[in-house]
Amino acid sequence: MLVNLTIIDLAVVKMLDLDLDKGMSVLTGETGAGKSILLTALGLALGDRADSGYVRPDCKRAEINLEFDLSDAPLAQQWLQDNDLDDGQQCLVRRVISSDGRSKAYINNRPATLQSLQELSEKLVEIHGQHAHLTLLNNDEQRRLLDVYAKNQPLLDELNGCFRHWQHTHKELNALQKAASEQTEREALLRYQIDELQQLELANFNYAALTEEHDKLANLGEILASGQSLVDTLYENDQASVLTLLGHSLSELAHIARYAPELNEISAMLTEAKIQTEEAALQLRRFLEAQEADPLRLNAVENQLGIIHQLSRKHHVAPEELPVQLAKLEHELDNLTHSSERIEALKLQTGQLSGQYHQLAKQLSGRRQERGAELQQRISDVIKELGMPNGEFVVAVNPQAGDLPKLNGTDKIEFLVAANPGLPPKPLAKVASGGELSRISLAIQVTTANDKTTPTMIFDEVDSGIGGGIAEIVGQKLRRLSHNRQVLCVTHLPQVAAQAHHHLFVSKNNQTDITSSSVRSLDDGERVTEIARMLGGVNITANTLAHAQEMLATGLSQAAPDG
């Protein structure tokens, strides 16, 4: 459960350090006091999108810290262990929002993504907003609620896994069947393209070596002329060759080395240079003598390069990638050649998957019908308690049209209600008023809550549009929910507030330039005064106080949370 909420510089909250307890806690206060910002802070800490508008004016950043006790949250403990974020029986969640709009998140003091926060939050907190009844009109939400109540998730996961496998196989089968109708034309084209590429002898294909050979053959005249000139310069010019000049230099150096022996090392270096020069000149001459112009070979290489460049443009690939392109075309041709076999195999596979899917769907439908009958009876009983004495709630489970597998099964789930006797049940959107929808929504939440594993449930003014004795029953239902979990409730109804184990009061301070809100826990005497304010408005009389004390008497006598 949530044991502490700390907020720093978030909107109207400058500093808040709030400890929370087991059982049912209510948050009350004047309209605009800042009750909603507490829920906003919880949402931000648990992964909602943030922007700089949440940061209190003139502050650099806002910060929200949550501390959870995980002794009643085994799924959250397992998630933390699976993601290497566990820290014993506690979990610390921290969200920091900068004034430039950037934000950072931490789980047990380790950086975390928003997706991680959202995954973890599903196992820790469930928030029911004051407009939750609007989502109730959506058929997919109705299906989800029934499946949660019926504990259908394992079966639903298996069915949807089968559906996705069938969908993938069915898509491949359709693609192959469509391609089969154009197969002859495509095969002819592929064979022609493969024949074109195979003339390049791609098994021994070396584009770099071929271009190198072409460059040499095309420039052979220049190679021979420049090479012969170099041979003359290095070796064959008796008067001024490099070899001759080195010989003269060695003779002169030998003469003066008689007087300066330290020149012998230089003489050795020049001797080595003369030997290397002579060897290089002889190798160059042998190379030139071996060269022979070959116009036919040059023409053949140029033709082959022309074909290579033409095919690379045609297939939109680099010349070096032509062997890879040939392999792709051969693979496609092989697939087309064997497509009939693949089509038959896919037909068999889709048939098997379809049979498996419909078997699972039938099982799922049976569970929905069985548990739907239980759910509709339980919700009907609750809405009667909530001021709809003639109300009848119906969970309709009907087959959808068509035989093809569908996501989440073949059933159409629809919630119906008959608000008055003698009238047939009709969809919620066509029958229920806003107040009735709020009551039905609350009835569904109360009825299905015991089947959930979330340790903390938060209700944000879900009792709007309800008053009088019905409001007291709503308070009793919420208190009953808190017997095995933590319930936080934002409310304007004194009948609901009187049922709580703990009462938190939200107030606004307008004494400074920047408005701020604070939250404090009320003792028994302060609770009487706050309930009286909620009952009587501005002028609180002795009768109002007496009424408030009477309302609290029953709740206070059972103040300790059960379990």
Kindly give the pairing relationship between strand 456-460 and strand 125-128.
Answer: parallel
**94 pairs with which residues across the strands?**
65, 106
| Confidence label for 559 from pLDDT (cuts 50, 70 and 90) | very low
The listed range with the strongest mean pLDDT (111-125, 209-223, 294-308) is 111-125
Q: Summarize the confidence of residues 70-86 as an average pLDDT.
A: 91
Closest CA to 13 of 520, 521, 501, 458: 520
Lowest mean pLDDT among 89-93, 346-350, 461-465, 537-541: 461-465
Contact between 528 and 552 under an 8 Å Cβ cutoff? The reply is: yes
Q: Percent of the chain scored above 90 by pLDDT?
A: 33
N-term to C-term CA, the chain: 14
- The pLDDT tens digits of the residues spanning 251-280 come to 888 888 888 888 899 999 999 998 999 899
How many C-beta atoms lie closer than 10 Å to residue 52's C-beta?
Answer: 14
How many C-beta atoms lie closer than 10 Å to residue 186's C-beta?
Answer: 14
Which pLDDT belongs to residue 162? 97
- Is residue 49 scored above 60 in pLDDT? yes
Apex 76 CA angle, 72 and 82, nearest 5: 140
Q: Summarize the confidence of residues 527-538 as an average pLDDT.
A: 85
Q: Mark 515-524 as b/e (b = at least 16 C-beta within 10 Å).
A: bbbbbeebee
Closest CA to 37 of 61, 15, 59: 15
* Nearest-angstrom CA–CA distance, 449 and 71: 19
One DSSP character per residue, 296-310 reads HHHHHHHHHHHHHHH
How many C-beta atoms lie closer than 10 Å to residue 559's C-beta?
Answer: 12
- Is residue 558 scored above 60 in pLDDT? no
- The pLDDT tens digits of the residues spanning 97-151 come to 999 989 999 999 999 999 999 999 888 988 876 555 567 788 888 998 899 889 9
- Is residue 506 scored above 70 in pLDDT? yes
Provide the token pair at 228: 């012969």
Kindly give the pairing relationship between strand 61-69 and strand 486-490.
Answer: unpaired
At position 560, the amino acid (one-letter code) is A
Lowest mean pLDDT among 70-84, 404-418, 512-526: 512-526
Q: Summarize the confidence of residues 475-496 as an average pLDDT.
A: 88
Residue 359's contacts (CB-CB under 8 Å, 6 or more residues apart) are: none
Apex 517 CA angle, 511 and 519, nearest 5: 125
Residue with tokens 């021994």: 204
- The pLDDT tens digits of the residues spanning 436-450 come to 777 787 788 778 776
Q: Which residue has the higher pLDDT, 301 or 18?
A: 18
Contact between 15 and 478 under an 8 Å Cβ cutoff? The reply is: no
Which pLDDT belongs to residue 367? 96
Which pLDDT belongs to residue 64? 94
* Structural element, H or E, at residue 227: helix 220-231
* Nearest-angstrom CA–CA distance, 559 and 563: 12
